[in-house]
Chains A and B, each alone.
Chain A
Amino acid sequence: MTRYLPVIVTAAVFALGYAICALQFPAFLSTRVIANLLTDNAFLGILAVGMTFVIISGGIDLSVGSVVGFTTVFLALAIETWGIPPLAAFMLVLFVATLFGATMGALIQGFDMPPFIVTLAGMFLARGASFLLSTESIPVTAPLYSAVSDFAFRLPGGGRLSVVGMVMLAVFFAGGIALHLTRFGANVYALGGSRVSTGLMGITVGRHTAAIYALSSFLAGLSGIVFSLYTSSGYSLSAVGVELDTIAAVVIGGTLLTGGHGFMIGTFLGVLMQGLIQTYINFDGTLSSWWTKIVTGVLLFAFIAFQQATLALARRSVRGATAKGATP
């Protein structure tokens, strides 16, 4: 039961927050707002799926925002200047991103370096590479882009479930299955519990670490494609600081930063929570956008404090049980 407590609390807080928003602005209940919540946070959600794997395995990936920026610039140049067909450009950029993540994972494992600093270097490298490609904002005019942004499922009530929103839902679904129902997912949890014991159990720690960071960068590339479709442009300064929003979403979703504990559904709720704050501020109109940062910070603090408290309680009850002895 305590395993599910953080996710239940996140769900309850989200429901409560949504109810407060809906009471104040009845329009919150329309499918339009819900569909927009999915579309506007699609790129954040896809990043958060990758980050969930990384954090559960006991690591952290600071490079994701820069990879998104690199992807948008690369796509814009490839499609508009170099004349590569969009789908081929997508494949190419996903390949580059995956290779980038695998290299970071290999460095972390091979040289026993802290993930935090390796992915920090990766962040500099990817952002620098996108600056070198172009510092201008490049519009993308390919027909595929307008076709994708025009296509949407119409929901009853006027909402439009866009392609990018559907991609995010699909990635969450696939990520949830991979994390909770496959051997790879079980190994990710094991790595977060203890790398040494995982290695002693006969799991190839090195290959799994490389795979986890490759997955995170692959999803960052996919998120970059989504961001590029969403904004129809490429800009080297896009998605600056998004890695922190992503980490915040995962933490608010109840995943422990020490690794080994967390659920994909929690991350989904964490992403929606951030979207909800943003939407509320847009609806209110008088609040400035910097309140998003402050409220996110306060929520982050509240959830981390709550996690610490439940951990302390769990430890105390374990200690109490051992003190009483295992009498039936």
Chain B
Amino acid sequence: MRFRLPRKGLPQIAAFVVVLLINFAVSPQFFDIRLQDGRLFGSFIDVFNRGAPVALLSLGMVLVVATRGIDLSVGAVMAIAGAIAATLADTHALPVVLLAALGAGLLCGLWNGILVAVLGIQPIIATLILMVAGRGIAQLITEGRIVTFTSPELARFGGGAILGLPVPVVLTASVLAVAVIAIRGTALGLLIEATGANARASALAGIETRTTTIAVYVWSGFCAALAGIVAAADILGADANNAGLWLELDAILAVVIAGSSLLGGRFSLALAVLGALTIQAMNTGILLAGFRPEFNLVVKAVVVLLVLLAQSPRLSGVAVLLARRPA
């Protein structure tokens, strides 16, 4: 299956390829892939596997950003969903566990959406509430302990494989596919972009901006809960303090790398996933190069600034002037 490349995606694809090539230069075994126990292994596969939670978060975040919003609570929602999944895993059937965890994510998203769309609170602040309180709620569920489980069904979501591909990768790819079909295949994407570009004009044009806004936050909560399940299944447990910590920032970074404007109105689902994978490839590269993982944050900071500078309206004005100058 191939999806149409977005017209504006070339710099992002180039950046991803460059990061991969740097990794290859640093560690010649980077592209080595081997099959073991019916599952593919290797650093290259690992980029996709480890990048899955952030990729899922960025799939939710990208739509929120498209409506001129932001969702700071995704890390906390991950912690809540992971805590619920890990607590129920050994005593309940898998469908119950998944329904409970995903349902909690949907509820969190609904809460954020109502605060933003109905009460009219700025998105940063509305989602800040759940970001602060959410981790407390997650700790309430795990009673402050690190809950572990042994259920092999749930563990498959982290370490299992389908046709040789790790389950997190398959899961992310299917969520991306479903989202692209549902959002770009219908007028939904247009409605979301219109809401972000000018909410008032869209409302006057007959778009249900309120419902659209609530829906994107609910979607973001759902994606975050899915990421939380994957993260919990990966380590066979839930740590309410550290699960998803700072991942909201990675997700925002992925969306920014994807070229979505933080002022809303344009977005690309595929590029957001690519952005998340680029971040993960950089993380892997830093580790492979033998640098201490502490370099991660500094490198990320520099990348954010460079991407923002490249997107800055002032700087593009300069570029236009330079281009116009007669040679």
Q: Which residues of A contact B (CB under 8 A)?
A: 60, 107, 110-114, 116-118, 120-125, 127-129, 131-132, 135, 244, 247-248, 251, 257-258, 288, 290-294, 296-298, 300-301, 304-305, 308
Q: Chain A: interface secondary structure?
A: helix
Q: What is the CA–CA distance of A171 and B250 in the complex, to the nearest angstrom?
A: 34
Nearest residue, chain A, Cβ from B312: A111
Number of A-B contacts (CB under 8 A): 117
> How far apart are A306's CB and chain B's nearest CB, in angstroms?
11
Q: Contact: B129 with A301, CB < 8 Å?
A: yes
Is the interface on chain B under 10, 10 to 19, 20 to 34, or 35 or more residues?
35 or more
Q: Contact: B144 with A290, CB < 8 Å?
A: yes
Q: Which residues of B contact A (CB under 8 A)?
A: 70, 115, 119-122, 124-126, 128-137, 139-140, 144, 240, 249, 252, 256, 262-263, 292, 294-302, 304-305, 308-309, 312-315
Q: Contact: B135 with A290, CB < 8 Å?
A: yes
Q: Contact: A292 with B136, CB < 8 Å?
A: yes
> How far apart are A310's CB and chain B's nearest CB, in angstroms?
13
14 interchain pairs, CB-CB under 8 A: A111-B308, A120-B252, A124-B301, A128-B294, A128-B300, A248-B128, A251-B125, A257-B122, A290-B136, A290-B144, A293-B132, A293-B135, A294-B137, A304-B129
> How far apart are B74's CB and chain A's nearest CB, in angstroms?
14
Q: Contact: B128 with A244, CB < 8 Å?
A: yes
A-B pairs, top 9 by smallest CB distance, nearest first, are A297-B133, A293-B136, A128-B297, A131-B294, A128-B298, A124-B301, A125-B301, A290-B139, A294-B136
Contact residues in B for A123 (Cβ distance below 8 Å)? 249, 301
Contact residues in A for B298 (Cβ distance below 8 Å)? 124-125, 128-129, 132
Q: Contact: B136 with A120, CB < 8 Å?
A: no
Q: Contact: B124 with A304, CB < 8 Å?
A: no
Of the candidates B263, B297, B309, the one whose C-beta lies within 8 Å of that of A111 is B309
Q: What is the CA–CA distance of A135 and B296 in the complex, to the nearest angstrom?
A: 14
> How far apart are A275's CB and chain B's nearest CB, in angstroms?
16
Q: Contact: A297 with B136, CB < 8 Å?
A: yes
Of the candidates A121, A129, A135, A248, the one whose C-beta lies within 8 Å of that of B308 is A121
> How far apart are B128's CB and chain A's nearest CB, in angstroms?
6
Contact residues in B for A288 (Cβ distance below 8 Å)? 139, 144
Of the candidates B128, B133, B297, B300, the one whose C-beta lies within 8 Å of that of A247 is B128
Contact residues in B for A291 (Cβ distance below 8 Å)? 136
Q: Contact: B296 with A128, CB < 8 Å?
A: yes
